[in-house]
Amino acid sequence: MTIQILGMGCPKCQMLARNAQRAIQDTGIDAQIEKITDMETITEMGMLVSPGLAVNNELIQSGRILSSEQIARILRERSEAQ
């Protein structure tokens, strides 16, 4: 599973990345974090407001910082669906 953090690396993007890392550790799910800063790619993925969180190239949330618990819930749901 790949978790993408979309944004230019602002403090909010960094916090979202930390929360995603914590969620991976808490769930034990095999996942990697990829930071996407290319604006063309970000726009193609449908994000309008940063930061954004995508899982396997599907935009899940943008414009807010999800907690590690919220991200863990998303990862569990995605993992069970596979």
pLDDT for the residue 71:
97
Residue 82 pLDDT exceeds 80: no
Question: What are the residue ranges spanned by the domains of the chain?
Answer: 2-81
pTM here is 0.93
pLDDT for the residue 11:
95
Higher pLDDT, 80 or 54: 54
**Which residue in the list 5, 13, 23, 36 is annotated as catalytic?**
13
What digits encode the pLDDT tens for the residues 9-59? 899 999 999 999 999 999 999 999 999 999 999 999 999 899 999 999 999
Look up 41 and say whether it is catalytic: no
Look up 35 and say whether it is catalytic: no
Contacts of residue 73, defined as CB under 8 A and 6 or more positions apart, other chains included, come to none
**Which residue in the list 1, 10, 39, 48 is annotated as catalytic?**
10
Residue 80 pLDDT exceeds 90: no
Please state which CATH class domain 2-81 belongs to. Answer: alpha beta
